[in-house]
Structure 1
Amino acid sequence: MRPLTLVEGGVTSLDRDDVDTDQIVPARFLQRVERTGYGKYLFHDWRGDGDVDLRPNPVLVAGANFGCGSSREHAAWAIEDFGFRVIIAPSFGDIFAGNALKVGLLPIRLERDACRAVVDAGTVRVDLPEQTVLASGRQWTFDIDPDSKHRLLNGLDDVAITLREHSDAITAFEARHDLLPLPDTTAL
């Protein structure tokens, strides 16, 4: 996971409320096992119909209740793979917000008027260490729990945390156990 500290750049607007995870990435594209490559499916149906024109900017500003619906982590993967680093909205689906943080996306809750002001500005600066959003000379603060902030600032996903905190125990376990080698699949 890439560390996230400052994000500056253009803003993409998706002015819709109640965007659920099936709209973010339709279920028919969830057959892949790898985490990458989902960006091309982001809002696939809306983009295909011409309902949404997504520009590759670092910040997505959306309507209320963004990421509601099922708990698919693929939705966060698709947004991150498309190139967004920050999502600003009045509110988020709880599970989606957690999934976003786990892949290195920063979900920021701001009032609807602040979201509109960021969109109108067209460019924005998000400062995670200071927990501020700056656009057109206006500034807003946002809340984030300390653990999520630490993980984002340092680029630590769950695997990195596990390795960091338990590498000695993992090494000791591997040394104590006679792990079988993987079978040779070259003849298949």
Structure 2
Amino acid sequence: MAELDTSGGGKKKGGKVRSKKQSTRVDLTAMVDLAFLLVTFFMLTTTLSKAKAMDLAMPDKEDDQKVEEPIAASRTLTVLLGNDNKLEWFIGVPTEPLSAPAVDGYGKDGFRKVLIEQSKKIKQSTGKDMFVIIKPSDKSVYKNMIDVIDELNITNNKSYAIVDITPVEIDLLKREKIY
């Protein structure tokens, strides 16, 4: 609230008559209260950005004793993650690949196109879905791994595994100069 000071004007002994000075004082208590109420209101009503997380199903340690059926090499696509945002892929096993190893990049014109084409070919030839084996190397970055999993989710491929890379596959990456 505002106040006006109306205290006496200045009749002093000497005789000059001075006009009364009026001073103003503004009480800011109500404004500070309102500011804190608004800050509190907006803090409580806003939502913080939610963490973006990807679901990744990992097998239980107790499931290691179960015997699983082997997956045919004719329906497995192996992806080797190299450096410089490059990957190498092939169908089958590294010693006897059913398709020649090829180097690609990430994105819709790179790995996504490979996933779509190879999935169709494998589905036509075997009648079953394609299984993707992801093998990151020491030279690959975490972003590349996430990019591969994102592409698998975009192409609706739910069957994949993340496995350690072997020395034979490292030699394949070295041959293409992406290790």
Structure of higher RCO (CA pairs closer than 8 Å, 6+ residues apart): 1
TM-score (norm 1): 0.25
TM-score (norm 2): 0.26
Q: Which has the larger radius of gyration?
A: 2
